[in-house]
Amino acid sequence: MAGLFLWFNNQSKHMTISLHEVVPVPLKEKLLKQVSDIWNREIVFTTPEWIKIKAPSGTGKTTFIHSLYKLRTDYTGSIQWGERNIASLNAEELAVLRQQKISVVFQDLRLFPNLTAFENIELNRVLQTPYCEKEQITVMAQMLGVDHIMHQPASLCSYGEQQRVSIIRALVQPFEWLIMDEPFSHLDKVNAGKAAALITAACKERNAGIIITDLHDDDHFDYTRKLVL
Amino acid sequence: MKGLNILLRKLIKTGAGRVRFIMAVIGLSIAMVLILSAVQLQSNYNELLRGSGNRDSIANFLVINKILTDQNLKNTTLSDAEINDIKGQSFTDAVGVLHSSRFKASIQSSSTQFPFYTDIAFESVPDSFLDVSTKEWYWDESSNFVPIIVPGMFLDIYNFQFSLSQGLPQLTREVVKMIFFQVNIYDENGMSHSMRGRVVGFSDRISSLLVPQSFMDWANQQYGTAGNKAPSRIIIRTKDSGDPGLAAYLKEKNLSTDQDKTRFSRYRQVVDLVVNISGATGLLMLLFAILIFTLFIQLTISSCKDEIKLLLTLGASPKQIARFLMRQFFPSNLIIITASLAIVCILQYLAHAVLQRQEVHISALISYPTLLTAALVLFFIWMVNLINIRKYIKINH
């Protein structure tokens, strides 16, 4: 009983993500002709939902991720993190929320080419009060089979290696939501499975939600909801 | 925080535009030395002009009398109205009346080894106008000697002209102060009344034989012949003897003062010129140096545009990055200004040592206004840096 109460209590603290009739301006004409579970609808994501968004090419998958993370704002409607319309967040507030509540794996990975793989991960760990110990990076790198390239500049790593590094980078910070844009696109099935297991553990530990986009159906996670963009 | 800074240092290279940076450092250093020197010079001048207890503070005090012409012979006294008018002028801080003795007097040696005799007259002036401070400057009817202050110039004339031509020994100030002599005062009937006298100090400010006011009042009442005559000379304390208004006033009222003191207005012109040139040049250089620093900051930030953008994307706050950049840029400014301040400190100490030998006393330490100026410039640069950094980070966001 006490455990259940704690669980509920924990739920209420976590931030929801909601979309209110969001339509990206550049895709407006095209999208309004299609049927979508996301665009131009009222949607609320609540932790610990694990949501799969299947998105055929050209439906605005990356646009959706970037809008959700406030990298772009060229849409109509509104997106809310908790009670706040993210359009109203200033740079400092946005930084705090990105440090504490929302972690991201970009499709284009976005590592610093001049830093080593390890430093890329470490940077995100020390950007705020560290969530985990430094040693944890090596442990995770070993689990994903990238420990041998940890001290190479990121620019010299293969796409598959960079993708795993960027997944680990997303997992060393505190978060309530993990947003991933085709996180396994450069990984084979075995490695994708290892990465999914690591992500699952990290999200369960934080009681965090997942929003993942991909082109195809998959069973990497125990999704609570599957949507089509 | 430390870990983050190490990583940021790898990402945001401040090496770009090193030449520009060195130029800015040199420019700022010279500018700071010039500006601080200008402020210090002004402070030193003010200290000389206004400081109390400074032997060279003669500039503060002017003895004023009417210009003697054929028309006003025997009529050179200053009326109360005239004195009040002077009191009312903006350049006047205080006015003291020089009372002259209205009795005949003489002094003579009480020693046969060193005989001398001379008729003299005394003046007295309020104590606050004296540049001699000694406990012996006191007289009442029970005193056993009359303290006298003599113009320093008198002893110089004796030592360097008179004694040489007469084959007399030269006397130091200390020796003169030890000699007691006899002071004779004659009443209306010519009867002489003797008392002991001794020189207790030398004045470089008032060229007159001075006795304490209390003695003068007593002796004038006791032996004075004429009535309560108005004074012929007054002494004023002024904020600035180089004040052009003062010179104009004296000319207009046919008054004169020690010509020598006009040199201070010439000094002032020189000081003003040096302060203005050095201050203006310094200020101009400061502006250019800050401009170059600004360009340097701008260059650094724009050369790391992509890195800063990705940092912000990953959740680094603009404040975190600004704080890091401030740490990269500001310490060099702090060092430059501290070093400039140190240079001015050394210069001041050297100036103090050199001037000391010429009996001009300026402080061995730099003044508060100089420190304040350094602090203000530092604050200004800090603000400019911060504003620039924030602005350019925002542009990249």
pLDDT digits (tens, 9 = 90+) for B305-327: 889 999 999 999 999 999 999 98
Residue B1: per-residue pLDDT: 62
Angle at A202 between CA A196 and CA A208, to 5 degrees: 105
Mean pLDDT in residue range B378-384: 92
Least confident of A33-47, B198-212, B261-275, B285-299: B261-275
Chain B interface disruption, residue of A127, A155, A169, A171, most B CBs within 10 A: A127
Residues of chain A found within 8 Å of residue B320, distances taken between Cβ atoms: 95, 127
Name the more confident of B372 and B91: B372
pLDDT at B141: 85
Are the C-beta atoms of residues A11 and A47 closer than 8 Å to each other?
Answer: yes
The answer to whether the CB of A3 falls within 8 A of the CB of A39 is: no
Percent of chain B with pLDDT over 90: 19
Going B25 to B26 to B27 to B29, the CA torsion angle's sign is positive
Residue of A nearest to B13 (CA): A114
Tell me which residue in A98, A110, A123 faces B7 most closely, judged by beta carbons. A123
Tokens of B291: 């401009």
Closest partner CB to A96 (pick from B312, B313, B317): B317
What's the CA gap between A204 and A195, in Å, rounded?
14
Beta bridge mates, B198: B147, B180
pLDDT of residue A7: 46
Q: CA-CA distance, A156 to A149, in Å (whole number)?
A: 9
Query: Is pLDDT at B228 greater than 70 in this prediction?
Result: no
Q: Predicted confidence band at B292 (pLDDT cuts at 50, 70, 90)?
A: confident
- CA nearest A124 in B: which residue? B314
Q: How far apart are CA B50 and CA B59, in angstroms?
A: 8
- Asked if the Cβ–Cβ distance from B3 to A115 is below 8 Å, we say no
Which pLDDT belongs to residue B370? 93
What does the mean pLDDT of chain B come to?
84
Among left, alpha and beta (phi > 0; psi -120 to 50; other), residue A30 is alpha
**pLDDT at res. A173:** 95
Identify from B5, B304, B311, B314 which residue to disrupt to test chain A contact, counting A C-beta atoms within 10 A and taking the largest count.
B314
Residuewise pLDDT in 10s, chain A (229 residues):
444 444 444 444 789 999 999 999 988 888 878 888 888 899 999 988 999 999 888 788 899 999 999 999 999 999 999 989 999 999 999 999 999 999 999 999 999 999 999 999 999 999 999 999 999 999 999 999 999 999 999 999 999 999 999 999 999 999 999 999 999 999 999 999 999 999 999 999 999 999 999 988 888 999 999 998 8
Q: How far apart are CA A20 and CA A51, in angstroms?
A: 17
Residue A4: its pLDDT value, please?
45
Give residue B356's pLDDT band: very low, low, confident or very high (50, 70, 90): confident
pLDDT at A11: 46
> Using the 8-state DSSP alphabet, how is residue B142 labeled?
T
Per-residue pLDDT at B50: 61
Task: For residue B314, give the nearest of A119, A122, A127 by CB distance.
Answer: A127
* Beta strands at B92-100 and B123-124: parallel, antiparallel or unpaired: antiparallel
Please judge whether A112 and B307 are an interchain contact, meaning their C-beta atoms are less than 8 angstroms apart: yes
Query: How do the residues of chain A divide into helix, strand and coil, expressed in percent and rounded to 5?
Result: 45, 20, 35
Name the 3-class secondary structure at B197: strand
Residue pair A144/A168 in contact by the 8 Å Cβ criterion: yes
Distance from CA of A117 to the nearest CA of B (A): 12
- Structure letter (DSSP) for residue A153: B
- Give me B189's structure tokens: 């009937």
Nearest C-alpha neighbor of B130 from the set B42, B201, B221:
B201
CA dihedral B232, B238, B240, B242 (to 10 degrees): -10
CA distance A23 to chain B (A): 22
- Tell which wins on pLDDT, B12 or A107: A107
Q: Across residues B90-108, what is the average pLDDT?
A: 86
pLDDT at B265 (0 to 100): 64
| B271 or B202, greater pLDDT | B202
Cut 0.80: pTM above it: no
Q: What integer is the mean pLDDT of B250-276? A: 74
CB spacing of B319 vs A99 below 8 angstroms: no
- Asked whether the beta carbons of A73 and A110 are under 8 A apart, the reply is no
What φ, ψ does residue A81 adopt, rounded to 5°? Answer: -105, 110
Cross-chain residue pair B10–A119, CB shorter than 8 Å: yes
Please name the member of B315, B319, B394 whose beta carbon is closest to the beta carbon of A127.
B315
Average pLDDT over residues B28-40: 91
Q: Is the pLDDT of residue B81 over 90?
A: no
Lowest mean pLDDT among B24-38, B70-84, B254-268, B272-286: B254-268
Q: Omega of the bond prior to A48 within 30 degrees of 0, cis?
A: yes
SS3 B19: helix
Element (H, E) at B392: helix B368-396
Specify the range with the lowest mean pLDDT, choosing from A88-102, B36-50, B217-231.
B217-231
Sign of torsion over alpha carbons A194, A197, A203, A206? negative
Instruction: Please state, in angstroms and rounded to a whole number, the distance separating the CA atoms of residues B30 and B346.
Output: 15
Interface residues from chain B to A (CB-CB < 8 Å): 1, 3-4, 7, 10-11, 307, 310, 312-320, 394, 397
C-alpha distances in Å from residue A153, one per residue of A186, B10, B125, B164: 19, 12, 88, 92
Give the minimum alpha-carbon distance from B303 to chain A in angstroms, rounded to a whole number. Answer: 14
Is the pLDDT score of B275 beyond 90? Answer: no
d(CA B98, CA B234): 5
* pLDDT band, residue B127 (cuts 50/70/90): confident
Contact A92 B313 (CB under 8 A): no
Which residues in chain A touch residue B12, judged by CB atoms under 8 angstroms apart? none
